[in-house]
Structure 1
């Protein structure tokens, strides 16, 4: 199975918020169909299987995703929480979450889209009220708007992930240095 979603943020709620990419420029939407939303729930590990969702599930998920992003931004910038975003997140978190079950072959979590969304909302509540708030950073790539939890030693991480942004930034800096070197040598 090909995984289309990227999980580099260090928390399911932040990975969920990152499904609208490049918010400041191109705005690339990952949840274009109910299938893409269902795939995210499975690929993230939030659930093992999910009842196929519909258009209204995508609408609800994108509304909660935007609420999470707003609240994360508010918290990161030290601002008061946006009231509408808080209401949207808490409404989703109040719904029954996905419940893991023990089976003869191990742990298995089956869910409806509403239960998957409630589970993600609960992750957001835990993150935004917990000890990792000071570790949240926005990616250093100006094109990327992912927020991640920086658990690196000394909190020196600069981008959401090496594969997604770090290598791109480092390669661009290297090319810029190479272009500047001949000019400096000619002086």
Structure 2
């Protein structure tokens, strides 16, 4: 499986929640090591430099990620929030966040793992309390569990991303039509 982090959900907390891929089947953990968590924080654009994460930071990030996923799922489905997930998210959001600084070359943000995680948690609070909630959708690929913000025209987007899930589903449908076409023609 590809080890690159993917940012197709339209919001850093949703992309963070999507780092456990294929939750209903094969389950692939993108935060398998501290350096993978470091990479996510930088690749996401939340920070420009992060103090190296340790295994405890990975465990805390996974706990917050699972809380975000549970809360987003509950919100999307109109269900009540899990109190444990609320506690985990709010505890992380209470910590000091990463603070951008203006330098001669532009914005630069250095952070500790705790500050970076707090930034993700705060963005999750804003997302779940904000106006984009009605636009939250789960990917139409049955193997994918990414939730994304559908800002497409007419909110008709079906996939978390065309490159990842959309092309796979469309190619599979095309192959299925091709296989069934000769059978239908021979009748």
TM-score (norm 2): 0.98
Aligned-partner Cα distance in 1 for 2:141–2:4: 20
What's 1:169 paired with?
A: 169
What's 1:136 paired with?
A: 136
Say if 2:175 is the partner of 1:182: no
What's 1:125 paired with?
A: 125
Aligned-partner Cα distance in 2 for 1:114–1:9: 23
> What is the CA distance between 1:38 and its match in structure 2?
0.4
Residues 1-29 of structure 1 show CA distances to partners (whole Å, capped at 9, x for unaligned) of xx810000000000000000000000000
Give SS of 1:99's match: coil
What's 2:63 paired with?
A: 63
Aligned-partner Cα distance in 2 for 1:60–1:51: 15
> What is the CA distance between 1:45 and its match in structure 2?
0.3
What's 1:72 paired with?
A: 72
Say if 2:101 is the partner of 1:101: yes
Question: Root-mean-square deviation (CA), in Å?
Answer: 0.7
> What is the CA distance between 1:57 and its match in structure 2?
0.1
Q: Unpaired runs of 5+ in structure 2?
A: none
Aligned-partner Cα distance in 2 for 1:28–1:37: 14
Residues 91-147 of structure 1 show CA distances to partners (whole Å, capped at 9, x for unaligned) of 000000000000011100000000000000011000000000000000000000000
What's 1:153 paired with?
A: 153
TM-score (norm 1): 0.98
Aligned-partner Cα distance in 1 for 2:150–2:103: 35
What's 1:39 paired with?
A: 39
Aligned pairs, number: 185
Aligned-partner Cα distance in 2 for 1:172–1:182: 17
Q: Which runs of 4+ in 1 moved over 4 A?
A: none
